[in-house]
A and B are shown apart, each in its own frame.
Chain A
């Protein structure tokens, strides 16, 4: 059974960088056919996909966040990470990591972490 767990600071200062790590257990992040995503949720904007990474390092980001986001993977630690630069209060959200599992010709989020609340404040 695949499990994901987010970790990182729950409070980030305005204009600084939000950094989160997702630790995966129950299967390797390097398994072919799976992508690994970050998603966030706010009361105002709902669920918002941030981006994904493949174990090879290939990434794809939401255009609305692309200029501020970097997702990386560490296969030796079975982890992937999110960095979001120049944060504002609008980046306050519950951040989830999730696996994009392949279902037929598409990918859907079939395993999720429990989520971690990150608050941005001065």
Chain B
């Protein structure tokens, strides 16, 4: 039981490049989330998926897109990376079926640098 896994762990991009961050969970959770963490800012929600087939914007969605591929997987895409997107990205999942969160479980994070 691996919990929440994220790939890659580290990534360096040049401005304007695109990439997709992958997240998978094996806990059969309905809800999945993407956060970014910046120094002194805590965790800010980018997008979430309350259930398979649905996605909703969080606090800071600009510059990102998401895909809930199936119940297990939720990917985050940067179409044209900008230096302001340099951050640590965390994926999380929870069992709640509504848009709410309850007890979320987090992955180990992806450390992204945009030059």
Chains A and B bind each other: no
Binding site for B on A (CB under 8 A): none
Binding site for A on B (CB under 8 A): none
